[in-house]
């Protein structure tokens, strides 16, 4: 889908089209017509994210770019013509569009048509009837027939005011015929209704599995509804998959999810070969209106370059000319931004890798638990060195301080130096030690922090790590003190796409229980905003075109209902996006389209990350695999066995691509 001029106008109703007086007083609209701006913004705070011109009065946009920033009188005189659309901000705030520093865009079309049955504040759920209501709304909104699938995600029985898990009977009353599944927030389980349990032949006679749980009704072997781990994943494996056309169609609401939060550049932060093919197809069909930065997962790089460079990789080495030329350029809104490496798992899942033991033991109460690396240094170091040699940007997932030590050692071994301006990013960099910031500064490594973790899992980190270590999670102020540039991310769908929630977590560092975790690391607002605008633009090497409101940059802009620099701290997270522009075109809100009638039974289903049978196991060796969600950042390795990962990385390191 292309964003047309018609949409710009049709979608432009939110910010008042005002300023007849403004236009009438323009110096000479007749002669200015040819050179006049397409849009002029004025009448509210303009937060440019630049130090030179922090708060101008007006901004002019022409041909998708910012052509003037400055005093209202100057812009009125030079840029307003008869065809100029004048947007009176009416006191609302204009900012550069937000740049997703790390997340998993391909999950958006997978879940966007499901019901979000998350607890507050991610969703709206407090009690079981809320979940039923949301599922019913979803069925109606999606025109799901009475025998089709109704799916919810984000279910968490532990926080319901009912003080119990939802059961099949809760669902049956509202859904006697539909197949219903409420997927657990961990993505490792779900509650099914009776029809769905029958569909998958899960009955009183089904034996208890050794790789998970079928919860049973009291004093009975009848399944209660909730399946966890093995049995749930077995169910998932049997879900019907959508066809390509359905998946492509789902990209529209998926991108709206981002645009509705002011995001104009999204990241696909661990891309598999088939997912990149999908994004390329979407781009070729002009279905993308966001820019999408793809970071191919290292293990899939041989397959990706086979697909796109038409080489004959088939157990044979990849041969391409200048690999760096394949990276760093948008083609139909998709850009390869570098390669993704995974060094460890997740802190809350206890699959990260630390130098000192957790205070609470391992996932199965193992004493002296320090977690483990995802891949041995001997395997991953040559890949890091090869990518560096080929001038390909490396994006490393590392959460625990021992994994971060591994990244530092790999960068050191690869000869990385700050002066070389590699901008290798260490995604998460959560459990850092102060001394590691010096190494980052020396090597020019740039962290992408994850302050939303402080809110969502801060209380868990406090228990696991103790006060001192937990307080240094995502240490923004300590990094700033060493002139280290850092971004901040949501890691969708580990946490929701929500830059304002992210900015609030960086500024407030408040846990769910209300503890201020690491008060010394609470960032100032401007720093927190830069971490979702100009710094991720810099990490993408797009700082010349994005991340601030400056002449010559793309008109990727967002209007917020309140000014994040002015509202009380606790209101930052409640700031709403009024309108979002990509290159001067309104991408949120979009004009409504007629609802499409579903034909017959709902036999397609927004899909899941799946692999071929040989490569796939249900869990990574650390036991924390996941069928949807962040394939790396929750600790799994996209369903590959450890042996398959090691083999793929070893082949990659020795391929002509990196040697």
Number of residues that bind Zn ion (CB under 5 A): 6
CB of 145 vs Zn ion, minimal distance in Å:
35
Which residues, listed in sequence order, are joined to residue 24 by a DSSP beta bridge? none
- Asked if 434 contacts 478 with a C-beta cutoff of 8 angstroms, the reply is yes
CB of 428 vs Zn ion, minimal distance in Å:
6
From the number of C-beta atoms within 10 Å of its C-beta (0-12, 13-18, 19+), residue 412 rates as middle
CB of 108 vs Zn ion, minimal distance in Å:
13
CB of 449 vs Zn ion, minimal distance in Å:
12
Which residues make Cβ contacts (< 8 Å) with residue 652, sequence separation at least 6?
298, 299, 301, 302, 383, 386, 658
- Among residues 543, 445, 456, 535, the alpha carbon closest in space to that of 491 is found at 456
Q: How far apart are CA 416 and CA 337, in angstroms?
A: 18
Q: How far apart are CA 472 and CA 520, in angstroms?
A: 9
**Nearest CB to Zn ion, comparing residues 106 and 227:** 106
Q: How far apart are CA 190 and CA 158, in angstroms?
A: 13
CB of 381 vs Zn ion, minimal distance in Å:
19
CB of 489 vs Zn ion, minimal distance in Å:
8
**Nearest CB to Zn ion, comparing residues 37 and 632:** 632
**Nearest CB to Zn ion, comparing residues 106 and 202:** 106
Ramachandran class of 180: left when φ > 0, alpha when ψ lies in -120 to 50, beta otherwise: beta
Q: Is 18 helix (H, G, I), strand (E, B) or coil?
A: coil
CB of 387 vs Zn ion, minimal distance in Å:
17
CB of 479 vs Zn ion, minimal distance in Å:
18
- Asked if 290 contacts 265 with a C-beta cutoff of 8 angstroms, the reply is yes
How far the first Cα of the chain sits from its last, in Å, is: 40
**Nearest CB to Zn ion, comparing residues 491 and 622:** 491
3-state helix, strand, coil in the chain (%, to 5): 35, 20, 50
**Nearest CB to Zn ion, comparing residues 294 and 585:** 294
**Nearest CB to Zn ion, comparing residues 444 and 635:** 635
- Asked if 40 contacts 86 with a C-beta cutoff of 8 angstroms, the reply is yes
**Nearest CB to Zn ion, comparing residues 142 and 187:** 187
CB of 296 vs Zn ion, minimal distance in Å:
14
CB of 426 vs Zn ion, minimal distance in Å:
10
Query: Which residue sits closest to Zn ion, CB atoms considered?
Result: 633
**Nearest CB to Zn ion, comparing residues 259 and 632:** 632
Q: How far apart are CA 156 and CA 158, in angstroms?
A: 5
**Nearest CB to Zn ion, comparing residues 118 and 399:** 399
From the number of C-beta atoms within 10 Å of its C-beta (0-12, 13-18, 19+), residue 596 rates as exposed
**Nearest CB to Zn ion, comparing residues 118 and 636:** 636
CB of 346 vs Zn ion, minimal distance in Å:
8
Pairing of strands 330-331, 334-336: antiparallel
Q: How far apart are CA 572 and CA 575, in angstroms?
A: 5
**Nearest CB to Zn ion, comparing residues 230 and 345:** 345
Identify residues 221-280 at the interface with Zn ion (CB under 5 A). 269
User: What is the x/- site pattern for Zn ion, positions 614-643, by CB under 5 A?
Assistant: ----------------x-xx----------
Alpha helix locations (H) across 365-451? Answer: 377-389, 401-413, 434-443
Instruction: Classify residue 365 by its DSSP letter.
Output: -
CB of 566 vs Zn ion, minimal distance in Å:
32
Q: How far apart are CA 72 and CA 41, in angstroms?
A: 9
Q: Is 487 helix (H, G, I), strand (E, B) or coil?
A: strand
Identify residues 358-387 at the interface with Zn ion (CB under 5 A). none
**Nearest CB to Zn ion, comparing residues 264 and 636:** 636
**Within 10 A of 442 (CB to CB), how many other CB atoms are there?**
15
Identify residues 450-509 at the interface with Zn ion (CB under 5 A). 491
**Nearest CB to Zn ion, comparing residues 587 and 632:** 632
Token representation of residue 29: 């609209």
CA distances from 19 to 22, 23, 212 (A): 4, 6, 64
- Asked if 461 contacts 434 with a C-beta cutoff of 8 angstroms, the reply is no
CB of 491 vs Zn ion, minimal distance in Å:
4
CB of 216 vs Zn ion, minimal distance in Å:
35
Identify residues 384-423 at the interface with Zn ion (CB under 5 A). 397
**Nearest CB to Zn ion, comparing residues 491 and 651:** 491
- Among residues 72, 4, 8, the alpha carbon closest in space to that of 40 is found at 72
CB of 358 vs Zn ion, minimal distance in Å:
19
The number of C-alpha atoms within 13 Å of 15 and in the hemisphere containing its C-beta is: 32
Q: What are phi and psi of 596, to 5 degrees?
A: -90, 135
Longest Cα pair distance anywhere in the chain, in angstroms?
85
**Nearest CB to Zn ion, comparing residues 3 and 408:** 408
Q: Which residue's entry shows tokens 């960068």?
A: 411
For residue 493, cis peptide bond before it (omega within 30 degrees of 0):
yes
- Among residues 297, 292, 448, 278, the alpha carbon closest in space to that of 387 is found at 297
Identify residues 128-187 at the interface with Zn ion (CB under 5 A). none
**Nearest CB to Zn ion, comparing residues 290 and 637:** 637
CB of 397 vs Zn ion, minimal distance in Å:
4
Which residues make Cβ contacts (< 8 Å) with residue 67, sequence separation at least 6?
37, 60, 61, 79, 551
Contact residues toward Zn ion (CB under 5 A) are 269, 397, 491, 630, 632-633
């Amino acid at each position: 889908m292309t964003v047309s001029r018609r949409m710009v106008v049709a979608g432009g109703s939110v910010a008042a089209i005002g300023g007849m007086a403004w236009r009438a007083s323009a110096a000479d609209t007749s002669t200015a017509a040819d050179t006049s701006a397409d849009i002029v913004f004025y009448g509210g705070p303009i937060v440019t994210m630049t130090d030179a011109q922090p708060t101008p009065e007006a901004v002019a946009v022409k041909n998708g770019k910012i052509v003037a920033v400055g005093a209202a009188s100057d812009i009125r005189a030079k840029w307003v013509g008869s065809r100029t659309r004048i947007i009176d901000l009416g006191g609302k705030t204009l900012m550069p569009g937000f740049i997703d520093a790390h997340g998993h865009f391909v999950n958006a079309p997978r879940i966007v048509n499901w019901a979000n049955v998350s607890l507050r504040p991610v969703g709206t759920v407090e009690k079981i009837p809320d979940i039923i209501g949301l599922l019913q709304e979803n069925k109606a909104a999606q025109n799901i027939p009475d025998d089709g699938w109704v799916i919810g995600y984000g279910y968490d029985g532990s926080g319901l005011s009912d003080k119990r898990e939802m059961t099949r009977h809760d669902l049956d009353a509202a859904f006697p015929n539909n197949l219903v599944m409420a997927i657990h927030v961990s993505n490792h389980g779900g509650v099914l209704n009776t029809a769905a349990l029958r569909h998958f032949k899960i009955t009183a006679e089904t034996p208890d599995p050794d790789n998970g749980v079928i919860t049973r009704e009291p004093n009975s072997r009848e399944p209660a509804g909730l399946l966890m781990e093995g049995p749930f994943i077995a169910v998932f494996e049997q879900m019907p998959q959508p066809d390509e056309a359905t998946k492509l169609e789902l990209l529209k609401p998926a991108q709206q999810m981002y645009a509705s939060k002011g995001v104009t550049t999204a990241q696909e932060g661990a891309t598999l070969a088939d997912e990149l093919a999908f994004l390329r197809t979407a781009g070729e069909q002009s279905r993308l209106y966001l820019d999408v930065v793809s970071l191919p997962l290292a293990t899939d790089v041989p397959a990706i370059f086979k697909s796109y460079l038409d080489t004959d990789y088939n157990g044979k080495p990849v041969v391409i000319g200048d690999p760096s030329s394949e990276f760093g350029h948008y083609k139909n809104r998709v850009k390869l931004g570098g390669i993704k490496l995974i060094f460890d798992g997740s802190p809350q899942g206890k699959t990260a890798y630390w130098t000192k033991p957790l205070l609470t033991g391992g996932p199965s109460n193992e004493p002296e638990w320090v977690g483990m690396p995802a891949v041995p240094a001997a395997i991953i170091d040559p890949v890091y060195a090869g990518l560096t040699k080929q001038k390909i940007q490396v994006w490393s997932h590392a959460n625990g301080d021992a994994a971060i030590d591994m990244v530092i050692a790999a960068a050191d071994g690869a000869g990385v130096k700050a002066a070389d301006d590699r901008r290798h990013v260490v995604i998460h960099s959560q459990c850092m030690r102060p001394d590691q910031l010096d190494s980052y500064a020396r090597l020019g490594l740039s962290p992408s922090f994850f302050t939303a973790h402080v809110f969502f899992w801060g209380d868990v980190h406090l228990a696991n790590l103790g006060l001192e270590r937990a307080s240094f999670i995502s240490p923004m102020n300590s990094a700033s003190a060493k002139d280290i540039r850092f971004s901040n991310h949501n890691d969708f769908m580990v946490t929701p796409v929500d830059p304002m929630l992210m900015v609030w977590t960086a500024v407030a560092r408040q846990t769910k229980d209300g503890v201020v975790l690491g008060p010394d690391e609470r960032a100032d607002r401007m720093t927190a905003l830069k971490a979702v605008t100009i710094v991720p633009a810099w990490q993408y090497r797009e700082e010349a075109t994005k991340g601030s409101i400056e002449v010559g940059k793309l008109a990727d802009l967002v209007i917020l209902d309140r000014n994040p620099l002015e509202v009380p701290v606790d209101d930052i997270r409640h700031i709403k996006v009024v309108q979002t522009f990509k290159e001067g075109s309104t991408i949120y809100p979009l004009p409504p389209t007629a609802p499409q009638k579903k034909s017959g039974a709902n036999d397609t289903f927004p899909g899941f990350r799946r692999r071929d049978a040989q490569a796939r196991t249900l869990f990574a060796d650390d036991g924390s695999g996941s069928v949807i969600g962040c394939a790396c950042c929750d600790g799994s390795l996209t369903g590959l066995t450890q042996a398959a990962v090691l083999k793929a990385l070893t082949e990659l390191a020795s391929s002509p691509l990196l040697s």
